[in-house]
Chain A
Amino acid sequence: MGFYCGWKNCIMNSILLNTNIAIFLLAEWIVWFILFIAFGVSIYILKKWDFQSYTPTQYKLEKYAYLVMVILVFAFSMKFILLPYFVFTMDKISDIVPGAMCSAGVISFNHYGMKLFFVKLLILLLLMVWLMINHYDLEAKKYPWFKLKGWLYLVIFMLISVELYWDYAFFNDIDIHKVLNCCSTLYGLLEGVNPLPFGLDKTRLLILFYLLYLMILSSTFSKQYFILSIGLLLFTIIGYYSVLYFFGTYIYQMPNHNCPFCMLQKDYYYIGYLLWGSFIGGIFLGVTTIIANLILGIDTQKLKILMTLLFTLFIVICSLYVAIYYIQNGVFLEPVKVEMVM
């Protein structure tokens, strides 16, 4: 079940010896340690920073600031790689935990799972915002947003510290002798209950899916950021449910299989990484675009184009699965009603 970690009364779960988990936690620790050093230096810089001053201390601080920035860019790139690796690790564990068929069961095993996943997403979003501010801060020469990005980094570091603790707590709490739920139990449809948000049916859900895509595109290029904000918020909800309860069934080619995680497996050619990656990436870039325009006052054409490309990729992947299925079979998938034989 467990082994002693060396400290008094401290028993660690043997699952932590799993290669994938050990690599993941070690990588997270290294990144956190690097960020911890940058955290200390950042506080020192923020306290002493005065761009108007021409003292040797200020020059030294500017050199330190550049060093910290390089460290952060490296650490942040690692974070972008570690999220898909986290999902991959959960997928691997599902092979050794009874009951779980994919990451869905593993992530729902304890109360840390979903919290951890959302914190990871929030950290990535904030990192993207930080990278954007940093990019324009360097371009501006006079570092107009230096303090803003400094304080933002402190917030991110706090979140990363919480994330590190939850990483450990999440994996340590997994009992490989306990039976987990599979995705059919977690996301399966209850009889008569409409799982879709706002009381939508599938037809309206799909209409909204495509309309929201058009609205995001048109509001982005017509610079209507209020409409874009609403569009992104709604598309996050509608996009997730559309994949879970409609497009996902075409990926699995099973009308009653509703799971956001199974598509990350080899059986489905790891398409989930591309699908969810483009979806989440598009949303994050959209939020970053709004912040850049409304807070920093910068019109970011590159971000807009990148966001559009990611959303278009997401829409094309989703639609292609349905189109190919229809061309091959001549019918659409219909959920099968299970009748009880008595």
Chain B
Amino acid sequence: MKIIKIFSQLLLVVIVSIIGYSIIQKDNPIEVVRGNLSYRPIPFTLEKTDDTICKMLIRSYYGSSQAITKKGDTYFFNDIGCMMIWLEEQPHKESIRLWVYTNDTNRWLNARLAHYTTRDKTVIGYGFGAYEKKNRDSISFEQMRSRMLKGENLLNPKVRKRLLENRY
């Protein structure tokens, strides 16, 4: 009986150690960073940060974006379309700072000042790519937002056909 007693006590120690070690090592992807009151974009780790809407890991800065609420909560997205879906659900849209990673100058830019192409290859496939410099086909932030919310993006087969045939 004494051996069984010691055995169960030993098991308890081993079990608590395994759980304790796992808790210390816990390494879940980041979904939101709180307290960013500078409202500047945060350099996040690729493959360790989740998109808030589609819950996929962000694997590249290209096409990624960030949204910072008035409280300083920072959310990350791997496709600008995801950020538009998230933004639509927020109560005070105007007070939210939006940042996009530009494909031409490779830096973070205020999303409301960026120019958008409609036929880029993006992670989810909405097709909106952010650029700092305006080009012939680019559209403004509000146009991009409107198209995204109306479903006029590359995921819509009819729109896709027209876009790829340069008829949009």
Contact = CB atoms under 8 A, between A and B. Distances in A.
Interface of A: 190-194, 198-201, 204, 207-208, 211-212, 214-215, 218-219, 221-222, 224, 227, 230-231, 234, 340, 342
Given A198-B19, A199-B22, A215 B12 contact: yes
A207 B15 CA distance: 9
Interface string B82-114: 000000000000000000000000000000000
Contacts of A199: 22-23, 25-28
Given A190-B55, A191-B57, A194-B28, 14 more contacts: A190-B50, A192-B50, A193-B50, A198-B19, A199-B22, A199-B28, A204-B18, A208-B18, A208-B19, A211-B15, A218-B4, A222-B4, A224-B9, A230-B12
Given A193-B29, A198-B23, A222 B18 contact: no
A231 B11 CA distance: 10
Given A191-B57, A193-B55, A222 B5 contact: yes
Interface string B10-24: 011011001100110
Contacts of B15: 208, 211-212, 215, 234
B47 A192 contact: yes
Interface of B: 1, 4-5, 7-9, 11-12, 14-15, 18-19, 22-23, 25-29, 47-48, 50, 55-57, 121, 123, 125
B50 A224 contact: no
Contacts of A340: 123
A340 B56 CA distance: 11
B125 A342 contact: yes
Contacts of B29: 192-193
Given A198-B22, A204-B22, A192 B4 contact: no
A200 B55 contact: no
A191 B47 CA distance: 10
Contacts of A221: 4
Contact of A227 (B9, B14, B26, B125): B9
A207 B18 contact: yes
A201 B28 CA distance: 11
A211 B57 contact: no
A222 B11 CA distance: 13
A342 B123 CA distance: 8
A191 B50 contact: yes
A218 B121 CA distance: 59
B11 A218 contact: yes
B12 A227 contact: yes
